[in-house]
Amino acid sequence: MTFISKIYSLNMEPKPNTKKILILDRDNTINRDTGYTYRLKDLVLIEESVELLASAAELRIPVVIISNQSLVNRGLASLDEVEKFNDALVEKLEKKKCKIDAIIFCPHIPEEECSCRKPKIDMFLEAFRYYPEASEFCYVGDSESDMEAAKNAGIEFFSSSIKYGYTQAINWLTK
Ligand SMILES: [Mg+2]
Ligand SMILES: [Zn+2]
């Protein structure tokens, strides 16, 4: 029982600034959450996240998305549907000059007690493995469990449930 990961552009660009890595939650952080969001027609970007991701791209700071997607094992959407949504998200962001390096998600429901569902940190450890030379990671998310996950992973947290959280994350990128 493990998480699912897809690498989009890791190491495909000229050497990025690998000192800092920006990790973000997906729903309600990058795109609007309609409650189990997987339909392409529900894909709406949050303006502040576009600004944050464009800053990361400009600074050549890699970006990883880490997300709980229990809708898969709840039987509400197929893996394929989730991956199609993710691909469309990456593509939509690319058009706005934002780059996503990888997306890691947990398809399990809480009752399965997997070791990847946030606030557990298996998905974070995977992201850390991608960038052995990185020295600083932060996580941007909207929920209590996001905050807890960042704490458990020992990295800085910024809340996307308040606009100022995005500003704080941009400041973290540039400091
Ligand atoms: Mg969220
Ligand atoms: Zn899991």
The closest ligand to the CA of 121 turns out to be 2
4-174: what CATH class? Answer: alpha beta
Q: Are 64 and 101 in contact (CB under 8 A)?
A: yes
**E strand map for 49-131:** 63-68, 102-106
From 25, 101, 142, 146, the catalytic residue: 25
The closest ligand to the CA of 115 turns out to be 2
CA of 134 to the centre of ligand 1 (A): 25
Give the tens place of pLDDT for each residue, 3-56. Answer: 999 999 865 555 566 689 999 999 999 999 999 999 999 999 999 999 999 999
Give the tens place of pLDDT for each residue, 98-129. Answer: 999 999 999 999 999 999 999 999 999 999 99
CA of 133 to the centre of ligand 1 (A): 28
Catalytic residue check, 25: yes
What is the pTM for the complete model shown?
0.95
